[in-house]
Amino acid sequence: MKKRRVVVTGMGIKSSIGNDLKTYWNSLKNGIHGIRPIEFIDTKDLEVKVASYDYDFDPLSYFDKKTIRKTDRFCQMALAASKDALDGQNLLSIHDPFRVGVIFSSGIGGIGTVEKEHSKWLEKGPGRVSVFLIPMMISNIAAGMISIDAGFRGDNMDITTACTSSTHAIGEAFRKIRDGYLDACVAGGSEAGISGLTIAGFSNMKALTKTSDPDRASIPFDKQRSGFVIGEGAAALVLEELEFAKARKARIYAEILGYGATADAYHITSPDPTAKGPARCFLNAIQDAGVTPSDIDYINAHGTSTGPNDRIETMATKIVFGAHAYDLMISSTKSMTGHMLGAAGAAEAVATILALKFGIVPPTIGYLHKDEECDLDYVTEGAREKPIKYALSNSLGFGGHNATICFKKFED
């Protein structure tokens, strides 16, 4: 069967640097980060003092108080981002509801609810634990509630692969539409895991930066990088088969051409030092797209600001692109958003699409000190205006998960 063309017809974002596309894009272009001292939990006994959190998100703008009481923050953000992505588009006016899916991910789900209800259990006994604990904490509830809210009855699932989760969600949604199983799909991810327990866990793994300076906290590819900054947020994309999108005169942001997914099969947290896993993943996405490495103009890197990750991703890029690696524009928008964990890939897909649409590459901010092992063009001087036709968005996750999506500037 002929492969169908898949386009992005809607996007929604909730992040520390913007809760709508215009604000998010303005922050990315201008190098504005959302990293700040942690004020809503007691950090006295924590080594980590900063995070990238969304203090402007107001669930009351989207939901009544009853709904808010029954949902974790990660789910509220997921629903809000999806509502914004759909933006009044009545997909069911043209689509069979059983042909519209939702693939929406979270890395750790309702961890805030788990902490709160566990404290209740210890202090007041099992009878005080919320009847909504289970649906509030399970990571698939966001996908379920998006489908309930919108009436979409096709494939419905949550792909949980740590920091690769929402890139896998978008990639699998793309495949289902391209190969004829769905006609449209809401795909993305959400995370609201900034809690004492989560921070302690990541900190004890030596994964989080312990600097208290927000401007030097998330500094991907910089030689002084010391770990990632935990972030929160959600991003949703509406994917649709091209002819359906045209039929309903939808706005088309970009086209998805290819998707790659591999495993390192090496270690539960450390990347394979040979970089073979991510390298094959990048190449798979490029080949799936039907283009060559030399066609790629821009890469939105996973770029976590951890020592091994940035070095291995750079190595993988050189393996795949050869001499062209030095011509590529590469940036890590985590330098501004922090690491949104299971939502990171979707938020970065939105950034990549906006870069394609406007011909502006967002910068990697905070970069001061060159690392000899990370010697590519990370767009560190500020946003760069340049036409982009093909771009990759990369994600690498604990467990050895790798995922890459190849986007193309839309041309009818």
Q: Which residues are catalytic?
A: 163, 302, 339
Distance CA 357, CA 389 (A): 9
Map residue 37 onto helix, strand or coil. strand
**Phi, psi of 108, deg, nearest 5:** -130, 0
Strands (DSSP E) along 309-348, which ranges?
A: 329-331
Map residue 357 onto helix, strand or coil. helix
What is the token pair recorded at 350?
């939105």
Map residue 11 onto helix, strand or coil. strand
If you search the block for the tokens 């060159």, which residue do you land on? 370
**Which residues are within 8 A (CB) of 400 and not within 5 positions of it... i.e. 6 or more apart?**
263, 264, 265, 266, 267, 268, 271, 272, 277
64-86 burial, b at 16+ Cβ within 10 Å, e below that, comes to eeebeeebbbbbbbbbbbbbbbb
Q: Taking Cα atoms as reference points, which of 353, 337, 332 lies closest to residue 405?
A: 353
- Contact in structure between 155 and 103 (CB atoms under 8 Å): yes
Give me the count of residues in the chain: 412
Task: Find the DSSP H helices in 102-140.
Answer: 111-124, 133-137
If you search the block for the tokens 């001061």, which residue do you land on? 368
Q: Taking Cα atoms as reference points, which of 13, 11, 16, 51 lies closest to residue 337?
A: 16
